[in-house]
Chain A
Amino acid sequence: MPFRTWGRIAWAYHLLFAAAVTWPGQTLVNTPDPFVLGLPRQMAWVAAWLLGSLFLFWRMDAARERTGARQARRSRLEGESPPEAASQSKSMHG
């Protein structure tokens, strides 16, 4: 999946994350039981969103690196200098 798509997924995910841990989203998971790995369900809920965030950031950054490497390779083949500055300053939306 290209970096741009991962970036969009990451934005959407973190908006959902914000909604899920504040009112009214958090009211969906408002009781402590059943416990998850010994933790109250609400605490495990927040931890699960954090783990999801870690995974998404990791995938998104890997996609960004791949995109940067491809651009650099293409530039070398075309005899240009790699577009380092451009690739570094682009936003998550590419």
Chain B
Amino acid sequence: MDKFTLITLVIAAYLAATLAVGLLAGRRASKSVQGYVAGDRDFGLVVMYFITGASVFSAFAFLGGPGWAYSRGAAAFYILSYGVLGMAPWYTVGPKVAALGRRFGFVTQAQLLTGRFPSRGLSALMAALTLAAFVPYVTIQIRGAGIVIEAVTDGRIPLWAGAAVAYGVVMVYVLARGVSAVGWTNAFQGIFMLAIAWTLGLYLPSKLYGGVGPMFEQILSERPELLSFPGLDGAGAPWTWGAYSTAILVSAIGFTMLPHLFMKAFTAKDDRTIRRTVVLFPTFQLFLIPVFLIGFAGVLFPEAPPSADVVLPFLVVRTELPALVVGLFCAGALSASMSTGDALLHAGASVVVEDGVQPFRKLSDKAQRLLMRFLVVGVGALAYALALEENASLVDLLLASYGIVCQFMPAVLAALYWRRATTAGVLWGLVAGASTAVFFFLNPALKPFGVHEGILGLLVHLPVLAIASLAGKPQDAGHVEKFVDV
């Protein structure tokens, strides 16, 4: 059997196994919106751990992370830093969100917000912003899947076909089983990703340089600029401290506000499960270290990959690993892409129906589930089209998403902790923050000190929220108590 056939067979076996796990999961879940969106609030620690981990180990980390280490050096370390900082407050906030979900039947972030701040406009705005943030994020995942398959098959399966097959599988199990399929496939894929990341992360530096230490010694001697903080920017010039530091802050804030992660608080079996997920979360950040080692292994490699994002598959193919190992690597990288993409597609469709449609036109439970399934296909198709055209780096796409998503943070904290917050304050704050972020995203030359547009948005958002809230009439104390005193 030739190498290409064996690699294709391994990929096919992996996709079949993922499909089987996805379809077998959730057979006992109720045929309701709560079953499809929140898994009947019955996820245990193993599934919650891997769902959270999948949000770290996405195509962004698995391909974009090594890509940044390869092309921008120490700048990539920001990816190591932000996850735990973002997750730490979740130890407190997560159980509170879950308790409110159980009490009021919330299954989305916007339902929680509009529960405290009744406004159909706020609900629609949240749905629109979520979709605006999710589309580039799903695009990253789909493109990542296509890149990997194209690279390991040496172009025999082009990006468009590889991405279509991988995400065809995702569509089938998300459409059939909803969040239960997302949870259990994430657990299955998580094991794959970790095994592959560690194996390659230690193997490649060892094969190419004689070990991790010797690799960094050679890089320090020949490309010292890559190991000097804060690394390089996309053009190869030194990055600014403002951009590096605010990339960490905006990602930390945006991380737990990502609707697909936030909504998982509604799926957890109990508060203890949420807390333990937070306790174990730093392990996933540590698991990222070998991913960066792979990127650094490419720095002094005699040949250069066509783009930084493909450095990982490029090295795997060029170092003449056995075909079985290349196939397994591909399965690991596909796991990273699919485990995040499925959660995003599912959450995106759920948010649009629950927050963008339901407040304006009440649908039956059955109609909601049907519309969600249509939207899974619609959002997936849109992201797929963008994935074929997109030229931006995977990490840049994700940072753009975080700029929007981090604007949810003040509204969520105000809903849970600030008695004096009002609907008008939250609405104006969101509009002002998101508009500012979009303005600076479109005009990057105007950003002071390279500060991320999400942080600039927050600098406008917070005072607008505070002033507009204090200027208005306070909410009824009895209503506020139901949210703040949980």
A47 close to chain B: CB less than 8 A: yes
Residue of B nearest to A29 (CB): B229
| B85: Cβ under 8 A from any A Cβ | yes
* Residue B414 at the chain A interface, CB threshold 8 Å: no
Point out the residues of chain B lying under 8 angstroms from A37, CB to CB.
212-213
CA A60 – CA B84 in complex, angstroms?
15
| B229 lies within 8 A of A27 (CB) | yes
Of the candidates A53, A58, A88, the one whose C-beta lies within 8 Å of that of B88 is A53
Residue of B213, B242, B248 touching A21 (CB-CB under 8 A): B248
B79 to chain A, nearest CB (A): 10
Determine the residue in chain B with the shortest Cβ distance to A44.
B289
If A32-B220, A35-B216, A38-B212 touch, whether A53 touches B249 (CB-CB below 8 Å) is: no
Interface centre among A10, A27, A39 (most CB of B within 10 A): A39
Q: Which of these, A24, A35, A47, A89, contacts B80 with CB under 8 Å? A: A47
8 Å CB interface, B193-246 against A:
211-213, 216-217, 220, 224, 227-230, 241-242, 244-245
Residues of A within 8 A of B271 (CB): 88-89
Q: Which residues of B lie under 8 Å from residue A21 when comparing CB positions?
A: 77, 81, 85, 248
**Is residue B272 contacting chain A, with contact meaning CB distance below 8 A?**
yes
CB-CB contacts below 8 Å: A19-63 with B: 21-24, 26-27, 30-33, 35, 37-40, 42-43, 46-47, 49-51, 53-54, 57-58, 60-61
Q: Kindly list chain B residues whose C-beta atoms are within 8 Å of the C-beta of A18.
A: 85, 248-249, 252
Q: Is the CB of B80 within 8 A of A46?
A: yes
Task: List residues of chain A with CB within 8 A of the CB of B359.
Answer: none
Bound complex: CA A74 to CA B370 (Å)? 50
- Interface magnitude class on chain A: 35 or more
**How would residues 238 to 280 of chain B score, 1 for a CB under 8 Å from any chain A CB and 0 otherwise?**
0001101100110010000000000000000011100110111
Contact (Cβ within 8 A) A23 B283: no
Q: How far is the CB of B138 from chain A (nearest CB, A)?
A: 28
Determine if A61 and B80 form an interchain contact, defined as CB atoms under 8 angstroms apart.
no
Q: What mask results when residues 51 to 94 of chain A are scored 1 for a CB within 8 Å of chain B, else 0?
A: 10110011011001000000000000000000000001101110
Shortest C-beta distance, A11 to chain B (Å), equals 8
CA distance A38 to B279 in the complex (A): 27
Which residues from A are CB-within-8-Å of B99? 88-89
Q: Does B96 count as interface, using CB distance less than 8 angstroms?
A: yes
SS of A interface (majority):
helix
Chain A residue with Cβ nearest B282: A54
Task: Say whether B92 faces chain A, with CB atoms less than 8 Å apart.
Answer: yes
**B68, CB-defined interface residue at 8 Å:** no
Does A14 belong to the interface (CB within 8 Å)? Answer: yes
**Contact indicator per residue, chain A 1-17, by CB within 8 Å of chain B (1) or not (0):** 00000000010001001
Does B91 lie at the interface of the complex (its beta carbon under 8 Å from any beta carbon of A)? yes
User: Which B residue sits closest to A61, measured CB to CB?
Assistant: B279
B286 at the interface (CB under 8 A from A): yes
CB of B285 closer than 8 Å to a CB of A: yes
Q: What is the CA–CA distance of A27 and B95 in the complex, to the nearest angstrom?
A: 36
A74 to chain B, nearest CB (A): 19
| Chain B residues whose C-beta falls within 8 Å of the C-beta of A14 in the assembled complex | 84-85, 88
The closest CB in chain B to the CB of A68 belongs to B272
Contact of A89 among B95, B217, B292 (CB under 8 A): B95
Minimum CB distance partner of B417 in chain A: A91
Q: Which chain B residues lie closer than 8 Å to A88 at the CB level? A: 95, 99, 270-272
B486 interface hit (Cβ, 8 Å): yes
What 0/1 readout, one digit per residue, does chain B (278-320) give for beta carbons within 8 Å of chain A?
A: 1111110110010010000000000000000000000000000
Set of chain B residues within 8 Å of A26, measured between Cβ atoms: 229-230, 244-245
Q: How close is B202's CB to chain A, nearest CB, in angstroms?
A: 10
What 0/1 readout, one digit per residue, does chain B (120-141) give for beta carbons within 8 Å of chain A? 0000000000000000000000
Is B21 on the interface with A (CB-CB < 8 A)?
Answer: no
> Which residues of A does B touch, CB under 8 Å?
10, 14, 17-18, 21-24, 26-27, 30-33, 35, 37-40, 42-43, 46-47, 49-51, 53-54, 57-58, 60-61, 64, 88-89, 91-93
Q: 29 pairs across A/B with beta carbons < 8 Å?
A: A10-B88, A10-B91, A17-B84, A18-B85, A18-B249, A18-B252, A22-B249, A23-B242, A26-B230, A26-B244, A27-B241, A30-B228, A35-B216, A37-B213, A39-B212, A39-B216, A40-B74, A40-B220, A42-B77, A46-B80, A47-B289, A50-B285, A53-B88, A57-B280, A60-B91, A60-B279, A88-B99, A91-B92, A92-B91
Q: Which 4 A-B pairs give the minimum distances between C-beta atoms?
A: A38-B213, A22-B245, A38-B212, A23-B241
* Contacts A26-B245, A57-B88, A91-B92 known; 6 new A-B pairs at CB < 8 A: A17-B84, A24-B241, A33-B220, A35-B213, A60-B91, A60-B279
